[in-house]
């Protein structure tokens, strides 16, 4: 519990120093061996292992290479916009985020071969395993905090906080 409080405090401290334009510095440095984790400002775990799709090719491929999205994983599209699930064989949850990481729209259990249009001001899109948004208590207006880990640290965080999801 103390570790989670410390992580939240570190994330809030960093986000207070960032202007909206600097969120890309926090998230998209695509260093090998780095994993992102997303939590809400209330400390609820959303995803432990989030990949970033910041290039055109990565956004185009999306989750097509993933046979089944693990419950603790996600894909962050930047810049985000309207999305589709053509070619997927499983349902996903989709969160549309603005530049301050507030949730603008949440689509739960989006089935394959569907299209969802992004609301105005969408800057990022977070794709999660189906049911993950409800399990994390996601609501419109909730702000997400992003934490960086080396891959070894992410495995430790998953084990330490497995009971909190």
> 104-129: per-residue pLDDT in tens?
999 999 999 999 999 999 999 999 99
- Half-sphere exposure (CA, 13 Å, Cβ side) for 133? 22
Q: Which of 13, 11, 14, 20 is nearest to 38 (CA)?
A: 11
> What is the rounded CA–CA span in Å between residue 108 and residue 133?
7
More confident: 147 or 25: 147
From 3-12, 32-41, 75-84, 114-123, the region with the lowest mean pLDDT: 3-12
Is 157's pLDDT higher than 80?
no
Q: pTM of the full predicted structure?
A: 0.75
From residue 160, give the alpha-carbon distance in Å to each of 105, 131, 153, 163, 165: 30, 22, 10, 8, 11
> What is the rounded CA–CA span in Å between residue 159 and residue 49?
13
Q: What letter does residue 115 receive in the DSSP assignment?
A: E
> What is the rounded CA–CA span in Å between residue 69 and residue 6?
29
pLDDT tens digit sequence for 29-48? 454 556 788 888 888 899 98
pLDDT at 164: 41
């Amino acid at each position: 519990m103390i570790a989670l409080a410390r992580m939240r405090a570190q994330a809030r401290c960093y986000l207070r120093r960032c202007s909206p334009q600097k969120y890309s510095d926090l998230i998209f440095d695509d260093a090998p061996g780095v994993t992102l984790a997303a939590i809400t400002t209330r400390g609820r775990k959303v995803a432990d292992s989030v990949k970033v799709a910041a290039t055109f090719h990565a956004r185009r491929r999306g989750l097509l290479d993933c046979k089944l999205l693990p419950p603790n994983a996600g894909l962050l599209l930047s810049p985000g916009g309207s999305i589709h699930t053509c070619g997927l064989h499983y349902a996903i949850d989709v969160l549309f985020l603005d530049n301050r990481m507030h949730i603008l729209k949440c689509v739960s259990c989006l089935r394959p071969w569907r299209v969802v249009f992004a609301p105005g001001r969408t800057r990022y899109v977070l794709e999660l395993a189906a049911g993950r948004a409800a399990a994390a208590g996601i609501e419109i207006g909730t702000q997400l905090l992003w934490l960086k880990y080396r891959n070894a640290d992410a495995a430790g965080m998953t084990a330490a906080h497995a009971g909190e999801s």
